[in-house]
Amino acid sequence: MLRQYHPPRFRYEVIRNRVLAVGVVPVGTVFRSTDEWGRTRKLIVEAWLPREIAAWRQDRQGRWVSCYVANGGHLAQVRDLSNGRRKLFADHFIRFAVEHD
Confidence of residue 85 (pLDDT cuts 50, 70, 90): very high
What's the mean pLDDT when you consider all of the chain? Answer: 77
* Separation of alpha carbons 73 and 83, rounded Å: 26
Confidence of residue 11 (pLDDT cuts 50, 70, 90): low
> For the segment 18-58, what is each residue's pLDDT rounded down to a tens digit?
887 666 677 888 999 887 788 889 999 988 776 666 667 78
pTM of the model: 0.63
Q: Which helix (H) or strand (E) holds 98?
A: helix 91-99
Express as a percent the part of the chain with pLDDT over 70: 72
* Separation of alpha carbons 47 and 35, rounded Å: 20
* Separation of alpha carbons 101 and 96, rounded Å: 8
Express as a percent the part of the chain with pLDDT over 90: 13
Sign of CA dihedral 43, 48, 54, 60: negative
Domain ranges of the chain: 10-99
